[in-house]
Amino acid sequence: MREDKLIIKGREITGNDWTVLRAAEGEDAAALAAPAGKAIVPLATWQAQAGALAARRAAGEIGVWFAPDERPETLKGELDAFAVVAVDFPKFTDGRGYSIAYNLRTRLGYAGELRAIGDVLRDQLFSMQRVGFNAYDVRGDRSIEDALKGLSDFSETYQASVDQKVPLFRRAARPAPSETGDAGYGI
């Protein structure tokens, strides 16, 4: 299997049988035709062709992806019907996808496969998993084995997020004031 047909899902490298449909420069995404097989289509394609693609979605063959400037709330109530929901990272430096993922998990309650697509690099994976991503389509010119290690770059986190609801200062065991001899300890 070619490396460009592999993704990270959970914490494992696995085959990727999904095609991400993208509009070419100047092409209208709403008019794109979804290819045969499993396809992740742009939000505009889904919105324009929902009726025609509904049976394929029900069969688990259609996913949808959000661009950084799109709002996942537009599919509120429909999200769980998709086999996969993806968020595009057009540039490594564009962090809006993190907020989209966080909102999909926390505000919209999406529990299925949430995939990062686009300019996805090792340095992002740890933070991506924190906000709810569980699948990563790593950029084709990078080592997927090396990227997998990015999920374990840190052993502890300070802030609360999707993967850890309690911040570190609330998780850390604190000695009782009687143990420290300082009645004001921990204030």
Do 141 and 180 fall into the same domain?
A: no
Do 95 and 164 fall into the same domain?
A: no
8-43 core/surface letters (b: 16 or more CB in 10 A; e: else): bbeeebeebebebbbeeeeeebeebebeeebbbbbb
Do 138 and 166 fall into the same domain?
A: no
Residue in 129, 109, 110 with CA at minimum distance from that of residue 120: 129
Do 29 and 59 fall into the same domain?
A: yes
Q: DSSP of 100-148, one letter per residue?
A: HHHHHHHTS---SEEEEEES--HHHHHHHHHTT--EE---TTS-HHHHH
Residue type, 171: R
User: Residue 109's domain is classified under what CATH number?
Assistant: 3.20.20.70
Do 97 and 13 fall into the same domain?
A: yes
Do 115 and 165 fall into the same domain?
A: no
Do 100 and 47 fall into the same domain?
A: yes
Q: 55 Cβ partners below 8 Å, 6+ apart?
A: none
| Structural domains counted in the chain | 2
Predicted confidence pLDDT, tens digits, the chain (187 residues)? 334 589 999 999 999 999 999 999 999 999 999 999 999 999 999 999 999 999 999 999 999 999 999 999 999 999 999 999 999 999 989 999 999 999 999 999 999 999 999 999 999 999 999 999 999 999 999 999 999 999 888 877 677 678 777 777 787 776 655 665 565 555 5
What pLDDT was estimated at residue 32? 94
Do 77 and 57 fall into the same domain?
A: yes
What pLDDT was estimated at residue 2? 32
Do 106 and 185 fall into the same domain?
A: no
What pLDDT was estimated at residue 33? 93
Do 58 and 147 fall into the same domain?
A: yes
What pLDDT was estimated at residue 89? 97
What pTM, to 2 d.p., does this model score? 0.85
What pLDDT was estimated at residue 177? 59
Do 151 and 162 fall into the same domain?
A: no
Do 110 and 144 fall into the same domain?
A: yes
What is the span of the domain harbouring residue 67? 3-155
What pLDDT was estimated at residue 3? 44
